């Protein structure tokens, strides 16, 4: 199988405009993401998918590969689908967040390994929740899995709900997982997903992957032990600098 890593990157972020081009200790964020992704042992090629010439020029300046895409895409999945419409020869596309400058390449390899099972059409990562503040944070999507490791449901609420038990005891009596937002798809499946209309569950939770579940697609999950640190705001950037560079 041939794997293509795709890093969607757009300039017009509502919370942090120009985010891919911010400087992180001498390198732009998109360069740091690209260099981390290139360390994966499973990917045959890596491209940045963008609609912005400033991002494209930056990626070209450090020798990265670019695929220009349309401006109208509502999600990274749609942008990835346009990429695979322009390139050929790959079996699996891996959609990698462009705002995680220190993503661990082991996570990408773990996701790729899900496709050793020929029945896997879509795969994503989950991580066990160990802190109560994460467990009840509605900004962190949670996921429940079946005995085959497939996702049953994703929610911003804490799932499963433990009836008759005080919430401070939940972590000691149940294993909870949060969703790590990296996806991999068989190429033909990715083409199918972008043709699906927005679903009621997706609208309710504002989680795109619920559209796929609601339409009968199985989502295989793999458990990662590595944390991800995304930069969604300027405050997140400060946390990154402190965590990785000891900057106050």
Q: How far, in whole angstroms, is CA 206 from its chain's centroid?
A: 15
Residue 165 in any domain: the answer is no
Residue 106 in any domain: the answer is yes
pLDDT at residue number 248: 65
Residue 188 in any domain: the answer is yes
**pLDDT tens digit string along 134-174?**
999 999 999 999 999 999 999 999 999 999 999 999 999 99
Residue 75 in any domain: the answer is yes
Residue 101 in any domain: the answer is yes
Residue 148 in any domain: the answer is no
CATH label of the domain that carries residue 188 = 3.90.550.10
Provide the residue range defining the domain that includes 183. 3-124+179-245
What lies within 8 Å, CB to CB, of 212 at 6+ separation is 122, 193, 196, 219
53 exposure class (CB count in 10 Å sphere: 0-12, 13-18, 19+)? exposed
What lies within 8 Å, CB to CB, of 147 at 6+ separation is none
**pLDDT tens digit string along 36-61?**
999 999 999 999 999 999 999 999 99
Residue 60 in any domain: the answer is yes
Residue 30 in any domain: the answer is yes
The count of domains in the chain is: 1
Q: Quick one: pLDDT band at residue 184, thresholds 50, 70, 90?
A: very high
> How confident is the prediction for the chain on average, in pLDDT?
94
* pTM value surpassing 0.85: yes
More confident residue, 143 or 11: 143
CA 183 to each of CA 36, 109, 165: distance values in angstroms, whole numbers, following the listed order:
16, 12, 34
């Amino acid at each position: 199988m041939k794997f293509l890593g795709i890093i969607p990157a757009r300039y017009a972020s509502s919370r942090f405009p120009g985010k891919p081009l911010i400087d992180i200790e001498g390198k732009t964020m998109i360069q740091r993401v690209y260099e981390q992704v290139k360390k994966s042992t499973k990917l045959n090629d890596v491209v940045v998918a963008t609609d912005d010439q400033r991002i494209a020029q930056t990626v070209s300046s450090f020798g990265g590969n670019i695929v220009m895409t349309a401006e109208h895409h509502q999600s990274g999945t749609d942008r990835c689908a346009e990429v695979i419409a322009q390139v050929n020869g790959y079996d699996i596309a891996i959609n990698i967040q462009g705002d995680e400058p220190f993503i661990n390449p082991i996570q990408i390899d773990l996701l790729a390994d899900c496709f050793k099972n020929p029945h896997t059409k879509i795969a994503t990562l989950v991580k066990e929740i160990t802190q109560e503040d994460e467990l009840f944070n509605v900004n962190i999507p949670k996921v429940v899995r079946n005995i085959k490791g497939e996702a049953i449901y994703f929610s911003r609420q804490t799932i499963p709900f433990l009836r008759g038990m005080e919430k401070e005891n939940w972590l000691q009596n149940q294993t909870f997982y949060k969703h790590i937002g990296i996806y991999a798809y068989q190429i033909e499946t990715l083409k199918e997903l972008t043709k699906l209309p927005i679903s009621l569950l997706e609208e309710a939770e504002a989680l795109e992957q619920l559209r796929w579940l609601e339409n009968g697609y199985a989502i295989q999950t793999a458990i990662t032990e590595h944390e991800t640190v995304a930069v969604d705001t300027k405050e997140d950037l400060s946390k990154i600098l402190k965590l990785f560079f000891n900057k106050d």
